[in-house]
Amino acid sequence: MGMTIAEKIIARAAGKETVKAGDIHTVTLDLLMSNDGTSHLTVDKYNALKNPRIADVNKLVWIVDHNLPCDSVKTAASHKKMRDFAIEKGIRFYEGEGVCHQVMLEKHVLPGQLIFGADSHTCAYGALGAFGTGVGNTDYLYAMVTGTSWVLVPETIRINLTGNLPKGVYARDLILTIIGKISANGANYKAMEFGGEGLKNIDMAGRISICNLCVEAGAKTALMAVDDVARAFLKDNNRDGDIVESDVFDADSDATYAQVIDIDLSTVKPIVAKPHFVDNVCDAKDVAGIKIDEAFLGSCNNGRIEDLRVGAAIIKGKKVAPNVRFLVVPASRTVYEQALSEGLLATFMEAGAIVMNPNCSVCWGACQGVIGEGETLISTGTRNFKGRAGHRESFVYLASAATVTASAIKGEIATEDMV
């Protein structure tokens, strides 16, 4: 019987010929990513062990991105604990390079790898054909010390894409559509595997955006087969030579799926997820006109150069609405420098946006840009949970880079054809 991409990667990591959904296997991890959300806790738990050791320090990547630059003495203390430990142990450590998942995709993730990240959006790595999954810091600690962990082989939902997204519709709209369709736990414990002719028409930024958000349907991981688009991304980052061809997997034609969903991309519309659930979606037009106080373009979901190009093209020559804060946050130093050289950041600045350093920003809800009581944010961030971006009585709408930028211009929710 054939295997899905998720099954093939787990089989490789478990040293088995074949595995099937429902099996539990001990696997060797290829990379272990941790950020400043919980690394200080991992350090505490590590130091409390009787015989602490790191199985393979070369597999560890630690990234400060959630509260950067730090906003309080308490945060400074947790960063210092993380930084000192990373330096002492020789762990690869980034601070100021960007949002963890973007940094990982640019510098470390390779097809076929099995990666644990102490962050739920680790599933983004599927855009490069890697099995990334989020874990808590105790699972992370166990993997860090032993080099291994146990995984339940997930069932897979296959999503076949055909056609092309219409003008003014983006990958972000597609994944919100899918999450709305299957619900916030529609893929719980499962993998989501994307394929079909339509996938070829979605650029790398869009693919990362899609895979990244699959955890909002409960997915354990998201996966896409590696094609010319993914290879070009690795080449652009000078890493095409690192690809291990025997680890480049596609699903077998007779693989078993829990569910198959077919989507004609030409039918997708601009979508908004309303407060306070990511699956609470509607046509963007249905909420057009709702007043906003802040707009956010950035995050591991939509802070890439392609997203900034979309936003800049819409806002060029226009202004941010009075009394609206428009935060623009490139996802990495690489993206920031590219946007700088293309003049995009100047465009945003001239329009009255606030351009900030690469970090998680208001998507994390504790660093910068938090919103107050009764305020409304439209965001390309990952979540719109109650209180996620600040006060518990505030409201977050999620949308594409285009819809967010158009809304910043109008001061109310709007799609790009409305500005």
Residues that bind other proteins (CB under 8 A): 37-38, 41, 45, 48-50, 67, 72, 74-75, 77-78, 118-120, 134-139, 141-142, 184-185, 188-189, 218, 220, 277, 364-366, 370, 383, 385-388, 392
Task: Please answer whether residues 187 and 287 qualify as being in contact, where contact means their C-beta atoms are separated by less than 8 angstroms.
Answer: no
> Toward other proteins, which CB reaches closer, 66 or 158?
66
CA dihedral (327, 125, 152, 26) positive or negative: negative
Q: How far is the CB of 218 from other proteins (least distance, A)?
A: 6
What's the CA gap between 187 and 193, in Å, rounded?
Answer: 11
Which DSSP helix (H) or strand (E) runs through 158? strand 156-162
What's the CA gap between 220 and 132, in Å, rounded?
Answer: 8
> Toward other proteins, which CB reaches closer, 245 or 373?
373
> Toward other proteins, which CB reaches closer, 71 or 262?
71
CA dihedral (137, 209, 277, 359) positive or negative: positive
> Toward other proteins, which CB reaches closer, 37 or 303?
37
Task: Please answer whether residues 110 and 104 qualify as being in contact, where contact means their C-beta atoms are separated by less than 8 angstroms.
Answer: no
Query: Two tokens at 88?
Result: 């002492």
What's the CA gap between 31 and 110, in Å, rounded?
Answer: 10
Q: How far is the CB of 90 from other proteins (least distance, A)?
A: 23
Q: How far is the CB of 119 from other proteins (least distance, A)?
A: 6
> Toward other proteins, which CB reaches closer, 223 or 370?
370
Q: How far is the CB of 44 from other proteins (least distance, A)?
A: 10
Task: Please answer whether residues 125 and 159 qualify as being in contact, where contact means their C-beta atoms are separated by less than 8 angstroms.
Answer: no
What's the CA gap between 127 and 211, in Å, rounded?
Answer: 6
> Toward other proteins, which CB reaches closer, 74 or 235?
74
Q: How far is the CB of 417 from other proteins (least distance, A)?
A: 32
Q: How far is the CB of 319 from other proteins (least distance, A)?
A: 31
Query: Two tokens at 149?
Result: 């962990």
> Toward other proteins, which CB reaches closer, 50 or 167?
50
Measured CA distances, 132 to 21, 160, 166, 208 (Å): 17, 21, 30, 12
Q: How far is the CB of 47 from other proteins (least distance, A)?
A: 12
